[in-house]
């Protein structure tokens, strides 16, 4: 008789069909392939004298302590430089340690083993994955984020995308030391400008592509807020790690198998307004919640912040207009509310494994009453 779903988490203590092959890349006793990978990346970096390791923002961090939930992936995740793991069916495991994706050595698993691992991890996050719900995103203990996709939606086998949180909460000073704001006097000026924006309670929007460091920068900025202020953070999947004594976190909830119980970001934003936030934070704007965010920031809730996916500073107005359309807002309404609500836009880029603050701007109305941006 099949084991009931509620018992799936107990499988962590059992042997897994996943295997680690050492046939093609034999490892000496006591050697950790993940650490070998880190050393290889460092050696590759040393071959390019133009690159500065400190600028890649892979600053040393304490070892994570609760990675056992990842089962056979644990030994690769223990390297503090690793931020992402990708299992591409039986084609292999890829790691990102800050210098681009590289295949993990000494890894092999069949499709059955990877599927079992995906089911196990999703169950630990309190959700269920099968052919009826083949794409699921969950957060595990300590902020580990797991996204899984099953066949036939994935034509290349079961897929796992795992994002590991930093054990260390980086400050603005640490980000500056890593080169996020550039070098020399320009970096010092930008750091001072951002600190002033937080202390003056300006509303901030951090933009950039996936993996560009939006959440990291937002958390560092919020860490500069006075300790006497109450921060209410709302996220689809909790990722913000803010070094501040008074942070309240709300997380959205997807519908259950019967289609009931969903709590969206827009609903959480309305609830957050009743919690007397000194700073209202939306982890990522991705839908109709943009209407509630703009309304809140236009009605006396200064010092707020959020993030948005965008390719460049010039593309941000179009992204906001698209989200506003989902909420039934006209481009003119989006433009006028955005200009009034958001004081500063910080756009991040990641190139060659290096994250940097590429552009700083503000919103303006163009002659056609549409939203635009200019450097700030």
In 3D, which of 62, 150, 76, 146 has the Cα closest to residue 106? 76
SS3 72: helix
- State the average pLDDT over residues 356-375: 95
Decide: 217 and 233 in contact? Cβ < 8 Å: no
317 pLDDT more than 90 = yes
Q: What is the pLDDT of residues 244-277, one digit of tens each?
A: 999 999 998 877 777 788 899 999 999 999 999 9
- State the average pLDDT over residues 210-231: 94
What pLDDT does residue 127 have? 86
SS3 346: strand
**Ranges of H-type helices in the chain:** 33-46, 74-77, 111-124, 172-177, 184-199, 214-222, 265-272, 289-297, 316-326, 331-341
Record the pTM.
Answer: 0.74
What pLDDT does residue 48 have? 39
DSSP secondary structure, 289-341, as one string? HHHHHHHHHTTT-TT-EEEEE-SSGGGHHHHHHHHHHHTT--HHHHHHHHHHH
Could you tell me how many residues make up the chain?
376
What pLDDT does residue 301 have? 92
Confidence band for 309, pLDDT divided at 50, 70 and 90: very high
Q: What is the pLDDT of residues 165-213, one digit of tens each?
A: 876 788 999 999 999 999 999 999 999 999 999 999 999 999 999 889 9
Taking the alpha carbons at both ends of the chain, their separation in whole angstroms is: 65
């Amino acid at each position: 008789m099949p084991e009931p779903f509620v018992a799936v988490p107990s499988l962590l203590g059992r042997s897994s069909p996943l295997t680690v092959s050492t046939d093609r890349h034999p490892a000496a006793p006591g050697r950790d392939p993940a650490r070998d990978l880190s050393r290889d990346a460092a050696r590759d970096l040393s071959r390019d004298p133009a690159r500065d390791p400190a600028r890649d923002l892979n600053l040393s961090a304490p070892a994570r302590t609760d990675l056992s939930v990842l089962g056979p992936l644990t030994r690769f995740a223990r390297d503090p430089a690793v931020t992402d793991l990708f299992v591409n069916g039986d084609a292999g495991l890829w790691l990102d340690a800050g210098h681009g994706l590289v295949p993990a050595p000494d890894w092999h698993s069949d499709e059955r083993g990877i599927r079992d691992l995906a089911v196990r991890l999703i169950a630990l996050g309190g959700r269920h994955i099968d052919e009826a719900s083949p794409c699921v995103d969950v957060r595990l203990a300590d902020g580990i984020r797991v996204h899984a996709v099953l066949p036939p939606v994935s034509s290349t086998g079961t897929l796992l995308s795992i994002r590991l949180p930093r054990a260390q909460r980086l400050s603005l000073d640490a980000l500056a030391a890593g080169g996020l704001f550039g070098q020399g006097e320009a970096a010092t000026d930008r750091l001072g400008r951002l600190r002033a924006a937080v202390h003056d309670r300006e509303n901030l929007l951090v933009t950039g592509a996936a993996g560009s460091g939006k959440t990291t920068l937002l958390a560092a900025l919020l860490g500069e807020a006075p300790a006497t202020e109450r921060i209410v953070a709302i996220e689809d999947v909790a990722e913000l790690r803010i070094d501040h004594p008074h942070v309240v976190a709300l997380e959205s909830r997807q519908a259950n198998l019967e289609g009931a119980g969903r709590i969206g970001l827009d609903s959480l934003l309305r609830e957050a307004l009743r919690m007397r936030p000194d700073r209202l934070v939306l982890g990522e704007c991705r839908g109709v919640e943009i209407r509630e965010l703009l309304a809140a920031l236009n009605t006396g809730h200064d010092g707020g912040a959020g993030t948005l996916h965008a390719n460049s500073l010039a593309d941000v107005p179009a992204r906001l207009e698209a989200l506003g359309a989902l909420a039934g807002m006209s481009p003119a309404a989006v433009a006028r509310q955005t200009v009034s609500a958001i004081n500063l836009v910080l756009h991040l880029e990641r190139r060659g494994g290096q994250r940097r603050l590429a552009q700083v701007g503000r919103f303006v109305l163009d002659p056609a009453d549409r939203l635009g941006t200019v450097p700030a």
